[in-house]
Structure formats: structure tokens, C-alpha cells
């Protein structure tokens, strides 16, 4: 079978309902007790759960029996407006007018308006290569910005990775700012080795301290050693030092090639990877956190700028400016090798 299946919210019930099945894929619809609608896609390698009407968040992802998602405090997605109130997913779309942690001069929510945006439409695209979940939402403010956001995620036949997409079109008569990050929250891998196609020293430690970070003396001392070069962090072998979070930035990735790839390898040989175009996403963030509530090894978060808020990107000159009617697309391939 090939074609498009338009989804309606009335299709989603508390009990899982299979709406498509072939020799490789099964697609089911269900509703969490919280009321959030979900699509479960399985292929011969794994399972993905997408929230089609809530920013098209990818809630769960597992391949070959290995969970790729960070440890978190959420047993199910919550029906909320801000991502911090349901921070238990594998991936979300951060931005789009503003992205990242708001600075002192910013008034936007953490990770922007798109993360939990209510989608206007959702559908499935089925062909011989795989199944894509598509959606769109129109953002419009009186005397403000107006755009159409079209996120997507594709699971391929017999593959252990996914393709995440986002297209943004400016529908207004004036220019709009654009900041985007594909925020993939990977599992923490004990003694995991992080490597990439760019030099290790391309990453620099974040020196600013966002409002949600509460430093300890131990953390400050460790950060000082990282800044001086006394310590390096390519292997996840000191979890006590990663609370609160440790964040690194890599800028202007296009100097290292048209495409870059990042990897986290477990001692047992299991490897996670992320690959993307530097023409689309020219910045990268590495986010590490380990405590009893949350454990994350986000070895790369591809983005159009550093995630330090609207004003910081404006001052750095890293905001994209979309002209009237202009659109941009972003694609990230990520999963298990």
C-alpha cells in the first residue's frame, strides 16, 4: 500500500487501535490517560511513539531492544504548553522564533513556542521505503509574526534510525527571525565514548549559567578544570560531576565539511549517531546531566545557533532572517548504528 492517511483526533482511543499493518510495519493509535494522542510505529528493528498534535514530539524511541531515550521523571506525556512541564521525551522541535534558555533580557518560554505547539493537522505518508508522520501548525499573532511550521519524522524499512524534518515558511509580509534546534534527548551511556567528524577542541564549555542551573562548589571546581584544560570530557565516566548539567558548544560547523556526524559508543559496541548538513544546521550543543531523577547523554543537539535565548542570538548575529514568503527546511538523521 502507498498513499496518505489523514488523521482525525476522534480516531484516538484509550485502547490501542491498529490502523495499518504490512510485512514490515505496524501503526497504532492510542490516547494516554493524560489525554495526549499518540501514534506508535513499529518496524522489524524497533518502535517509535510520536505525539502528532503536540509539537510532533517523539516521545519514545527504541531499536534492537535498546531504549534511546534519557531517564526522566515522566511516566506519560502531560497535556501542557511548555516543554519543561513534560520533559520526558526522546526529541522535540525547539524554537522557532526564539530558542533555548531565555536570558535576563528575554521574555520567551524555555525552548520557544514550537516545542508543545498544538498542531492543526496530522497525517501518515506510506510508501515502499517507509512511513512518515507529517503535520503542520499555523502560528499567527496580531501585530506579530505569522508562519507555517511543518515537522515530520520518517521510519524506514528495516532501519534502526529515523529522519527528523522541519520546514518553516514565513507567511507574513515582513521579515521574521528564526532559531531552530532539533533537541534529541539521548540516554546516558555509562563509560560511553563521544566522538565526531569535527575536532574535539571545536567544543567549548558554556560559561554562562542559566536560571535553571544551581551551581555547587564541586560543579564549579569541575567546570574550572574543564576550562583550563586540566580535565577533558569525551568519556562519560564521572557522573557525580554532571549535576547540574554540563554543556558544550561547537560553532560554525561548515568549516569542517558539508555534512557532520556525531556518535556515542557504549563499551559493549552499541553506538548511537546523529548526522546533518552544516548548510542547514551550523551549530551544535552537547548536553550532559546525571542525577537520580534525570540522566541524559545528548552527545549532539543540531541547531542554527547557540541555545542561549533570543537576545543572545540577536547580539551574536546568528539569527536567521526569513523574508516574506521565504521558507527553510532542516533534516536530521539519528538513531542506532
Which of 34, 117, 112 has the alpha carbon at shortest distance from 78? 34
* pLDDT tens string 175-228: 999 999 999 999 999 999 999 999 999 999 999 888 889 999 999 999 999 999
Output the average pLDDT for the chain.
97
What secondary structure does DSSP assign to 124-151, as a single string?
EEE-SSEEEEEEEEEEE-TTS-EEEEEE
Average pLDDT on 235-254 reads: 98
Cα angle 69-318-58, degrees, rounded to a multiple of 5:
20
List pLDDT tens digits, range 137-151: 999 999 999 999 999
- Write down the pLDDT at residue 1: 64
Instruction: Return the C-alpha cell found at 222.
Output: 569541575
Query: Quick one: 125 exposed, middle or buried, by C-beta within 10 A (0-12, 13-18, 19+)?
Result: middle
CA distance 41 to 143: 40
Task: Give the predicted TM-score (pTM) of the model.
Answer: 0.97
Q: Cell 543537539, residue?
A: 301
| CB environment 26-39: b (16+ within 10 A), e (fewer) | ebbbbbbeeebbbb
What is the structure's pLDDT at 17?
96
Q: Are 164 and 272 in contact (CB under 8 A)?
A: no
Instruction: Report angle CA 44, 46, 50 to the nearest 5 degrees.
Output: 125
Strands 91-96 and 176-184: antiparallel
Instruction: Residue 325: count other Cβ atoms within 10 Å of its Cβ.
Output: 10
Cβ atoms of 136 and 168 within 8 Å: the answer is: no
Kindly give, in sequence order, each residue whose CB lies less than 8 Å from that of residue 240, ignoring residues fewer than 6 positions away.
Answer: 218, 290
Query: Under 8 Å CB-to-CB from 23, ≥6 apart: which residues?
Result: none
Q: CB neighbours (10 Å) of residue 80?
A: 15
Amino acid at each position: 500500500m502507498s498513499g496518505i492517511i489523514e488523521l482525525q483526533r476522534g480516531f484516538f482511543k484509550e485502547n490501542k487501535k491498529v490502523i495499518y499493518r504490512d510485512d514490515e510495519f505496524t501503526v497504532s493509535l492510542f490516547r494516554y490517560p493524560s489525554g495526549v494522542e499518540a501514534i506508535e510505529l513499529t518496524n522489524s528493528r524497533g518502535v517509535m511513539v510520536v505525539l502528532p498534535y503536540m509539537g510532533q514530539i517523539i516521545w519514545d524511541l527504541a531499536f534492537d531492544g535498546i531504549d534511546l531515550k534519557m531517564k526522566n521523571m515522566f511516566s506519560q506525556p502531560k497535556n501542557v504548553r511548555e516543554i519543561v512541564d513534560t520533559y520526558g521525551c526522546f526529541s522535540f522541535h525547539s524554537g522557532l522564533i526564539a530558542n533555548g534558555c531565555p536570558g535576563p533580557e528575554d521574555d520567551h518560554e524555555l525552548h520557544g513556542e514550537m516545542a508543545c505547539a498544538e498542531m492543526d493537522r496530522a497525517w501518515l505518508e506510506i510508501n515502499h521505503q517507509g512511513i512518515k508522520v507529517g503535520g503542520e501548525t499555523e502560528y499567527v499573532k496580531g501585530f506579530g509574526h505569522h508562519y507555517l511550521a511543518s515537522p515530520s519524522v520518517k521510519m524506514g524499512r528495516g532501519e534502526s534510525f529515523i529522519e527528523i524534518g522541519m520546514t518553516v515558511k514565513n507567511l507574513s509580509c515582513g521579515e521574521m527571525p528564526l532559531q531552530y534546534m532539533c533537541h534529541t534527548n539521548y540516554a546516558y551511556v555509562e563509560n560511553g565514548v563521544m566522538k565526531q567528524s569535527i575536532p574535539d577542541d571545536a567544543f567549548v564549555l558554556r560559561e554562562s549559567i542559566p536560571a535553571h542551573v544551581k551551581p555547587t562548589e564541586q560543579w564549579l571546581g569541575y567546570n574550572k578544570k574543564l576550562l583550563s584544560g586540566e580535565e577533558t570530557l569525551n568519556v562519560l565516566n564521572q557522573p557525580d560531576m554532571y549535576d547540574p548539567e554540563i554543556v558544550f558548544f561547537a560553532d560554525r560547523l561548515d568549516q569542517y565539511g558539508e555534512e557532520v556526524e556525531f556518535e556515542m559508543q557504549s563499551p559493549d559496541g552499541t553506538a548511537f549517531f546523529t548526522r546533518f548538513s552544516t548548510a542547514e544546521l551550523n551549530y551544535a550543543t552537547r548536553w550532559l546531566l546525571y542525577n537520580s531523577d534525570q540522566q541524559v547523554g545528548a552527545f549532539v543537539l543540531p541547531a542554527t545557533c547557540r541555545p542561549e535565548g533570543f537576545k543572545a542570538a540577536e547580539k551574536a548575529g546568528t539569527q536567521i532572517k526569513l523574508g516574506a514568503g521565504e521558507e527553510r527546511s532542516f533534516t536530521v538523521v539519528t538513531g542506532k548504528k
